[in-house]
Amino acid sequence: MNFAAAIAFSGSRIDRADHVRSDAVALEALTDWRARLLLMDGLSPQITPEGGLGWGSLADVTEGSELVFLGLGEDGRGCFAAVSPQLMGSTAPANPRLWQEMAALRADELATFGGARSLVDWHARHRFCARCGAPTRLAKGGWQRNCTSETCAAEHFPRVDPVTIMLVEHDGCLLLGRQPRFPAGNYSALAGFVEPGETIEEAVAREVFEEAGLRARDVTYVASQPWPFPSSLMMGCHAHADDRALTIDTHELEDARWFTRDEVADAVASADTGGRGQAFGAPPRFAIANHLLRWWLARG
């Protein structure tokens, strides 16, 4: 089974066409009536009646918007997203239907939406130069912002935050935890941001110790996922613990427990039919944690 293919938010078919971004003439030529605009309401996709991503033309761009070049479609046309004036400097209101809408999308459409969402949100929240405070201006088709102060002229790039998320194993059981915001009975893999000055493996060991009081060893990388809320790179790992006694950081976790293979298998199977396992509810299929549980079960 190819697990990489199944990871949500990966597999966009849009060609990022990096060479176009720095080529003002090529970019201008693509910014024409044939270009396609990803239709969004705030940071949510506009879904067509058929359940696909809604696309319009540049005629649909709200006045005062910034235009971001997503890349080339399979037909060679320029694909764009717009940063609307309403989004600039603001936080888009939560959309309670977002997960349901995303569930309707094809895998490659979900990936295209996720990448566009991260990029549009970055522009919306990076209107000013962090170094000097002057306004910034979109550059390179939206893959850069430049400070407008001539004495500063700092260049800023879209942010991607690496996050480790890990299955910790001991004696055939997996450690999973729950945060207060999770649906009742749900458990997922522990996770945390990678900090300056540490490897992925060091970040995994630190998080497991901070959150559960366990020493992790033999950390291995399993798979990664771009997570567009707002722009994380989830790096799924597996590690072993020699001990099962937990010291839970109750600031981070409401609970953490060891689950047997049968309990994990039951939870994953139940989640596939919209239900909850006997022992716990598994993370949703969009989440890399769900993928990691399947990987662990398939590995035997």
DSSP state of 5: G
Q: What whole-number distance in Å separates Cα of residue 265 and Cα of residue 174?
A: 11
Q: What whole-number distance in Å separates Cα of residue 20 and Cα of residue 90?
A: 29
Q: Which string of DSSP letters, residue by residue, matches 147-171?
A: ES-TTT--EE----EEEEEEEEEET
Using the minimum distance from each CB to its own copies, give the nearer residue, 156 or 257.
156
Q: What whole-number distance in Å separates Cα of residue 98 and Cα of residue 156?
A: 29
Using the minimum distance from each CB to its own copies, give the nearer residue, 206 or 257.
206
Residues 6 or more apart whose Cβ sits within 8 Å of residue 138? 66, 67, 68, 83, 123, 144, 145
Q: Does 57 bind its own copies (CB under 8 A)?
A: no
State in angstroms the smallest separation of the CB of 33 from its own copies: 26
Q: Does 193 bind its own copies (CB under 8 A)?
A: yes
Q: Which of 27, 38, 65, 126 binds its own copies (CB under 8 A)?
A: 126
Cβ atoms 164, 191 nearer than 8 A = yes
Q: What whole-number distance in Å separates Cα of residue 207 and Cα of residue 34?
A: 49
Q: Which of 197, 245, 274, 298 binds its own copies (CB under 8 A)?
A: 197
Using the minimum distance from each CB to its own copies, give the nearer residue, 173 or 200.
200
Cβ atoms 277, 251 nearer than 8 A = no
Q: Which of 194, 256, 282, 292 binds its own copies (CB under 8 A)?
A: 194
State in angstroms the smallest separation of the CB of 273 from its own copies: 27
State in angstroms the smallest separation of the CB of 4 from its own copies: 6
Element holding 29 (H helix, E strand): helix 24-30
Q: Does 240 bind its own copies (CB under 8 A)?
A: no
Q: Does 289 bind its own copies (CB under 8 A)?
A: no
x/- site string to its own copies, residues 136 to 165, per CB under 8 A? x------x----------x-xxxxxxx---
Q: Which of 200, 265, 279, 297 binds its own copies (CB under 8 A)?
A: 200
Q: Does 18 bind its own copies (CB under 8 A)?
A: yes
Angle at alpha carbon of residue 90, lines to 109 and 159, rounded to 5°: 55
Q: One-letter amino acid identity for 97?
A: R
Q: What whole-number distance in Å separates Cα of residue 163 and Cα of residue 232?
A: 6
* Residue ranges binding its own copies (CB under 8 A): 4, 7, 9-12, 16, 18-19, 22, 89, 111-112, 114-116, 118-119, 122, 125-136, 143, 154, 156-162, 193-202, 206, 210, 221, 223-226, 228, 231, 233, 235, 249, 251
